[in-house]
Amino acid sequence: MTAPRSTIASVRRLLFVVNVVLAIAVIAGLAVYYWVFYRALPQTSGTLETYVSQPVEVDRDSLGVPHIKAKTAEDAWFAQGYTTAEDRMFQMDALRRLASGELSEVVGMVALEADRESRRMRMRRTAEQIYTQMPDADKAEMAAYARGVNAYIETHHGRYGFEFLLLGYAPRPWSVVDSLLAGMQMFRTLTNDWKNKLVKEAMLKNGEPDKINFLFPYRSGTEILPGGDGHPGSNAWAIAGTRSATGKPLLSNDMHLEFGEPGVWMLHHIQAPGLNVSGVTLPGVPGVISGHNDRIAWGLTNLGFDVQDIYIEKIDPRSGRYVFEGKLEQARSEREVIAIKGHMPEEMALWVTRHGPVISTANGRALALKWSAAQPGVLQAVFPQLDRARNWEEFKTALSRFGGPGQNFVYADVDGNIGYHATGKLPIRRNYFGDVPVDGSSGDNEWDGYIPFEELPQAFNPANGLVVTANQNPFPANYPYHVSGFFDSQYRSRQIFDMLSASGNKLKPADSLRLQKDVYSSFNQFLGRQLVTAFDKRKSSSYRFSDAVTMLRTWDGQMDRDHAEPLVTALTFQYLRKAVAERAAPGSGDAYSNNFSTSVIERMLRERPAGWFADYDELLLRCFADAIEEGTRMQGANPKAWKWGKYRFLAASNPVGAQIPLIGGYFRIGPVPMSGGSTTVKQTTARLAPSERMDASLGDWDASLMNIPIGQSGNVASAHFKDQWQAYYNGTSFPMQFQKVDVKSRVTFVPKR
C-alpha cells in the first residue's frame, strides 16, 4: 500500500524547507566565519603598499614564521611590528592594557582589581618617564616597530580579530610607551616578590621568629636557596665543542612561564645590514629575546635577585607629609581614573614618597614600594643591540645596559666559546634587615647604587666545558655584596649538570631536547624513601599505606603522568608544608606558598631539628595518611590505579574565544595530563610550563631545533593557530630554519606611493 500523494508531497515540502534552512544556516555560518575570522588573516602573497623606505620581503615557512629581509634596520623593525600585529594584535593590546591598568575599560568589573594594582604600581606613568630618558637610538628602533604596528592598525579597520569584534572596540595607535609597558609587564612577572615579604611579616606577628626564618632562609649567597612550585623558572645551558658531535658548541634554552593561548612568544627571523637573527620575540617589543644570529647564540633564565623593598611610611593621609631620616618630607599626590565598561569610572588617589608609590594603607599603615624597574635608567631597549653582537665582548657590552629583570644569560659562538653572565641593576642595600618591611623614616634598607656589572657572576670557557643555569643561586659564598633573592633550589640544575656530564662527547640538538623533557625528581624520590623508612620503622601493616608503600619501594623518581607515585608524594608534600607552617605560625598553613618550600622540607627531614616535632616519623605517617585519604577522594580507593596526570594537568584558553557558546572549545587547549613537576627539568606546575624549547647547533645552524607550545597565530582560522601543539606536547620539535628556508608564501612590502 502506497502513501497518498498529498502525504508524499508534504514530506517533500518539509525536506525542501529543512534543506533550505540548513543551507541558509551553513551560508550564514560561513559568512560569519569569513567576516569574523578569515578577514583578519595576514596577507601572505603579492605586494603590500606601506610605510617602508625600500622593498621588504616577508617569507613564511611551514609554521608561519616570518622571515624578514630588509635593506635597512628601520624597515626590519617596522616589518617585525607589522607581522606581529597581524598574528597577535589582541594579545599585544591586552598586554599593554594589563600593564597600564586599562583592562576594565573593555572587559568590565572582572579586571578591576588587576587595574587597581597596575595603577598603584604606576606602570604607565613609569613607562612615560622612562621614554623621556631613553637614548635616541633606542627610541628610533622602537619607534620603527611602533610604526609597523600602526600601519597594520590603520589598514585593518573592522578586521583586527574576533576579540575586538566581540568586545566592541578597536585598538588605539601603538606607541613606544606601549612597547615599554609590554617589557615592564614581563619585568613585573619575574620580580613581583613584594607580596611574599608581607606573608613573612604576617607570620612573624603570631609565630616563632627562629622557625619562620627557617622557612624563609636568609639569602646570604652562602646557601642552596629554596624555590619551587609556582615561581617562574627556566633552563639554559651551553656545551663546549669538545662534547658535541660537530666539534662546535650547543646551546639550549627553555623558559618556564605561565601557560596561555596564544603563548608568550612569537617566532621571527629578521635580516638587515649587520643583522641576521632568529628566535623568540615578545609581542609588542622589537628584537629577538632568545635565539641566535649568524655568529652567536644565547638563552636566558630568571635570576631571581630581589629588586623590591617595602617601607613603612609614617605619612599623614591628609597632608601627605612624612618623616625620613628625621626630616619632614612631602609625598606627591597623584590621581588615577579607571574607566569600567558598563559602570561609572572609579577614581583613585595615590601618594608617592621618595621610595615609591604607596601600594597599601591597610591597618593604618602606609606601605611604599621601591622597585628597580621604576628607577631612572634601569629599563632599556637592549635586545636590538644584543641581536647584532658578533662575539663575547660585544655581547657583554649589550648586556651591560640590561637593567632587568635580572637574568642569567648563557652564551656560545661559532669560534667555539661558551660563557655565562648574570645581568640586571641589582641594588646594594644599606643595613639589610631581611624581607620584613622596615621603617622608612629611619633610612634603613636604603639602596647605595647597584652592583657593578663587571662584578656580577660570570664565566668564560669553563674547564669542564659546561655552563648550566636553572634559576639556582649563582653568587659565591665570599661574594662582597649582600645577596637577596628568591633563587630556586638546585634540583633542576644538578640534574642537568649530571646528565650532561654523563652523556659523552657526541651530543646533538636531539640530545638536548631529550634532556629538556626529563621528568626525574630527586626531591619526590627522597620524600618517597622517607615515607617507606617511616612505615618500616613503625612496622605498620595498615591497609591504608600498604599498596602505596609497595609502589614507593621501587619507584625511580620519574614524575610520569601515568604513574601513581608522583601523586602520592606530591599530596604528602602539601600536607607536610602546611603542617610545618602551622607549627611555625598557627593559622599560616595556607599562606606559606610553595615558592620556598621544597628544599626547606628536605632540609628539615634530613636534619630533623629539635623544637619542631617530637616524632618526625609520626609526622610523615600522619601526612602520608592525609595524602592517601585525599587521593582516594579524587581517584578512588586503589592507589595503584591513580595517575599523576589527572592531578597535574595543563589547560589554556583564549580569554574571549573560550566564552563563545557552542564553539568555545575550539579556543581551548586541554586539560591534558602532564608529566613533570616543580623540581624536574621539565618544570610543570598548575599554571607553569616550558614556554619554548630551543636547541641551537653552532656547527650547523639549520640543525637547530625550535618549538613554541601552540602556534604562531592567535586566529582560530589560521593554519598556524595550534599546528605546533602536538609536537610540543609529545616532546618533538621543528627545524629552526635559518640558512635554508622552505618558503611557503611571500609578500613584499613596497613603499607607499
Cα–Cα nearest to 737, from 708, 696, 688, 693: 696
Cα 284 → chain centroid: 15
- Asked if 476 and 459 touch (Cβ cutoff 8 Å), the reply is no
Q: What's the pLDDT band for 224 if we cut at 50, 70, 90?
A: very low
Average pLDDT over residues 604-618: 95
Least confident of 6-20, 193-207, 589-603, 658-672: 6-20
CB atoms within 10 A of CB 326: 8
**Residue 447, SS3?**
strand
Q: What's the pLDDT band for 686 if we cut at 50, 70, 90?
A: confident
DSSP 636-671: -S-GGG--GGGTSEEEEE-TTGGGSTTTGGGGEEEE
Cα separations (Å) of 556 from 526, 533, 644, 714? 10, 16, 15, 40
Q: What's the pLDDT band for 11 if we cut at 50, 70, 90?
A: low
Cβ burial 464-473 (10 Å sphere, 16+ → b, else e): ebbbbbbbbb
Q: How far apart are CA 218 and CA 225, in angstroms?
A: 9
CA atoms within 13 Å, Cβ hemisphere of 457: 24
Q: How far apart are CA 661 and CA 645, in angstroms?
A: 28
Q: What's the pLDDT band for 303 if we cut at 50, 70, 90?
A: very high
Residue 520: phi and psi, rounded to 5, are: -80, 135
Across all residues in the chain, what is the average pLDDT? 91
- For residue 316 the three cell numbers come to 599623614
- Asked if 569 and 527 touch (Cβ cutoff 8 Å), the reply is yes
- For residue 646 the three cell numbers come to 589527572
Cα separations (Å) of 348 from 39, 105, 118, 305, 316? 40, 15, 12, 31, 17
Task: Give tens-digit pLDDT for 376-420.
Answer: 989 999 999 999 999 999 999 999 999 999 999 999 999 999 999
Average pLDDT over residues 185-193: 90
Q: What is the pLDDT of residue 549?
A: 93
- Asked if 516 and 691 touch (Cβ cutoff 8 Å), the reply is no
Q: Is the pLDDT of residue 15 over 80?
A: no
Cα separations (Å) of 250 from 298, 510, 711, 732? 10, 11, 25, 18
DSSP lists the bridge partners of residue 360 as: 367
> Between 264 and 231, whose confidence is greater?
264
Q: What percent of the chain has pLDDT over 90?
A: 73
Q: How far apart are CA 493 and CA 410, in angstroms?
A: 14
3-state SS of 536-549 is HHCCCCCHHHHHHH
Cα–Cα nearest to 162, from 38, 347, 306: 38
Q: What percent of the chain has pLDDT over 70?
A: 92
CB atoms within 10 A of CB 151: 23
Task: Give tens-digit pLDDT for 190-205.
Answer: 998 788 888 888 888 8
- For residue 251 the three cell numbers come to 646551546
Q: What's the pLDDT band for 340 if we cut at 50, 70, 90?
A: very high
Q: How far apart are CA 349 and CA 335, in angstroms?
A: 5
Length of the chain: 753
Question: What does the angle CA 303 – CA 384 – CA 280 come to, to the nearest 5 degrees?
Answer: 60
Q: Which helix (H) or strand (E) holds 429?
A: strand 427-429
Average pLDDT over residues 170-178: 98
Q: How far apart are CA 79 and CA 73, in angstroms?
A: 10
Give me the amino acid identity at 714: G
Q: What's the pLDDT band for 233 if we cut at 50, 70, 90?
A: low
Q: How far apart are CA 601 and CA 572, in angstroms?
A: 11
Q: Is the pLDDT of residue 220 over 70?
A: no
Cα dihedral across residues 239, 240, 242, 248: positive or negative:
positive
- For residue 246 the three cell numbers come to 660537530
Cα–Cα nearest to 624, from 525, 526, 528: 528
Q: Which runs of E-coded beta strand occur in 6-55?
A: 45-50
Q: Which helix (H) or strand (E) holds 604?
A: helix 597-607
Radius of gyration of the chain, Cα coordinates, nearest whole angstrom: 28
Is beta strand 266-272 parallel, antiparallel or unpaired with respect to 66-69? parallel
Question: What does the angle CA 166 – CA 170 – CA 171 come to, to the nearest 5 degrees?
Answer: 125
Give me the amino acid identity at 598: T
Q: Is the pLDDT of residue 21 over 90?
A: no
**Residue 167, SS3?**
helix
Q: How far apart are CA 128 and CA 124, in angstroms?
A: 6
Domain ranges of the chain: 5-36, 522-556+562-647
DSSP lists the bridge partners of residue 312 as: 367, 439
Residue 140: phi and psi, rounded to 5, are: -65, -45
Average pLDDT over residues 326-330: 88
DSSP lists the bridge partners of residue 688 as: 258
Task: Give tens-digit pLDDT for 510-533.
Answer: 999 999 999 999 999 999 999 999
Task: Give tens-digit pLDDT for 55-71.
Answer: 999 999 999 999 999 99
Q: Cell 574576533 maps to which residue?
A: 162
- Asked if 161 and 90 touch (Cβ cutoff 8 Å), the reply is yes
